[in-house]
Structure 1
Amino acid sequence: MPQPKYARESMTIMTEMVLPNDTNTLNNLMGGRLLHFMDIAAAIAAQKHSNRIVVTASVDNVSFSEPIRLGNIVTMKAQVTRAFSSSMEVFIDVWAEDIPAGIRVSTNNAYYTFVAVDQSGRPIEVPAVLPETDDEKERYVSALRRRQLRLVLAGRMKPEDAKELREFLQIND
């Protein structure tokens, strides 16, 4: 079993400028381009935690709450919230900043799941996560419910076996 690591050790901050080639006809950042940026930032956080090659396993719901405009600076902050045997959940926050106007807004957040793999592409064990702050501890605890929901939705877990999720939703048999 690899030595556990603090959640903060995976912290990754990535910044991009929205250029004309990144935008749609309304001069807003295309959603697919933002997902590309987010995937890179989250993958770096997962690699920092696991010291391994990682592959994207899933992306939870991503809502686009605010447009990100041409010329804005996009900042993504990603951090591993919890690790399971070979998978890691990564939380990512996104902000857009109009530097000349002095405006910074939160635009998106999401949970990504990555699997660490060896050189042959087979899943490999990853270190446990040690949460320290209140936010890290809350995300760590709730990660198990999110994982169970992902597995149920993917058909890889029976709903009746998702104990923590069922307790959280107060589902009784």
Structure 2
Amino acid sequence: MQDIHKNIEESQVTISELMLPSHANFGGKIHGGYILSLMDQIAFACASKHSRNYCVTASVDTVDFLQPIEVGELVLMRASVNYVGRTSMVVGIRVDTENIHTGEKKHCNSSYFTMVAKTDEGESVAVPGLILDSKNEIRRFIKSAKRVELKKNRKSLFRDADFKAEDYLEELKQYNVIVPYRSRD
């Protein structure tokens, strides 16, 4: 792919949907799994719009359910590409609701989906870069870049082959656990 950069607005996607009784869980609130499914769809749309390729979900990071969503509320989801790597993108999603009778609005959920662009043959493909036009876009990019970096460090820190439980026994005392495990040197 040639050296192309896009403004974040070029890839943003917004969807809205009225929440129906069929979307509710046993507690009468909208099922979190249904919301996650909608979030995955909007992340796909946003990433595909940015990359102009089919995209797959590589990971879902930090899903924060902040407020319950009620049957009859209008859900509004906004998705933006916050970060791009070589073939991957972090799509930030904000979920708000509006009570269509009272007009009351609330922020219900935020999440970050890592999406990877693919060719028709299933190979990862380079994605366009970003043009960061504001302090907010710079903040979102840097926050996402730091999350990507932390994830890589966490993976290397806790690799099965290198992990030594003995190194963490003292640290475990601060948690609500019982550790009958003893080193078997």
Calculate the TM-score normalised by the size of structure 2: 0.81
Q: 1:164: which partner in 2?
A: none
Of 100-109 and 143-152, deviating more is: 143-152
Equivalent in the alignment of 1:141: 142
Q: Secondary structure at the match of 2:65?
A: coil
Which 4+ stretches in 1 moved above 3 angstroms?
Answer: none
User: How many residues of Structure 1 are paired with residues of Structure 2 in the alignment?
Assistant: 157
1:6-45 matched pairs, under 5 angstroms: 6-45=7-46
Q: SS in structure 2 opposite 1:66?
A: coil
> Alignment RMSD, CA only?
1.4
% identical equivalent positions: 33
For residue 158 of structure 1, report the CA deviation from its aligned partner: 5.4
Tell me which structure has the larger Cα radius of gyration. 2
- TM-score, normalisation: structure 1: 0.86
Q: 1:160-171 counterparts in 2 under 5 A?
A: none
After TM superposition, give the deviation of residue 20 of structure 1 in Å: 1.2
Gaps of 5+ in 2: 159-185
Alignment of 1:1-150 (within 5 A): 1-150=2-151
CA distance in structure 1 between the aligned counterparts of 2:15 and 2:34, rounded to whole angstroms: 14
Partner Cα distance (1:3, 1:61) in 2: 29
Instruction: Report the CA distance shift for 1:158/1:122 in structure 2 as closer, same or farther (over 3 A).
Output: farther
Unaligned ranges ≥5, structure 1: 160-173
- 1:96 CA displacement: 1.1
Question: More displaced, 104-113 or 131-140?
Answer: 131-140
